[in-house]
Amino acid sequence: MPGHVAVVVPARDEEEWLPACLAAIDAARIHLLRTVPRVLVSVTVVLDRCTDRSEAAARSMPGVSVISGNFGSVGAARDAGVRFALARSRSLPQRTWVANTDADTLVPRDWLVSHHRLASTHDVVLGTVRPTLTADNAERFQLWSAAYMPDDGHHHIHGANLGVRGSTYEDIGGFGPLAQDEDVDLVHRAREAGARWTASGALRVTTSSRTVGRVPAGFSTYLEALGVRAG
């Protein structure tokens, strides 16, 4: 079982979403500590070229570590956050679990408990996502629901819901400095290295349904394409 769970959240101009994102993570942190009292939990927000009040939003949550820089890509930002957390971990990399999510994402209360449980027998855990449903995107949401498989054994890879053992992360070189698909690249290298992995349908987060995102060809681009089909 991990002795340290490190949550890493990259953010680029996310002042609108960060407060709710971090509040949800904190609720999951408290629930994990009540369930597994001796585990340590850290939260690191990585600000990449932010021009809004994302830093103020991140620092408003007690206990959150904030690093800021011109990382140039989501892959580089994620990697900086993970390495920051691992360098400060009181546990060995083998006993440190990195739970990755995004600033426009809300995790459920049992999110970290589920990650911690799955980490006992796996090196990589792939969760699922669910976009927010609004009055403006009902048809797009229906198209997404029809195409998306959220069950155990699913084929999805989302940086917004991805867990990896610290030692596995270090062994495969971490997230590459990629502008997109850094999560897919990491998981493929982990599989090739023989990491134990699972795709859990029960591990689900809610993410923004916006169609203008922060990375090219990301989840928002996929939702935008569904909107074109719906139109």
pLDDT in tens, 30-52: 999 999 999 999 999 999 999 99
Banded model confidence at residue 147, pLDDT cuts 50, 70, 90: confident
Banded model confidence at residue 138, pLDDT cuts 50, 70, 90: confident
Could you tell me the pTM of the whole model? 0.90
- Alpha carbons 22 and 57: distance in angstroms, whole number: 9
Q: How many CB atoms lie within 10 A of CB 218?
A: 20
Quick one: average pLDDT of 129-146?
76
List the domain range (segments joined by +) for residue 126: 4-230
What CATH number is attached to the domain comprising 161?
Answer: 3.90.550.10
Quick one: average pLDDT of 85-111?
98
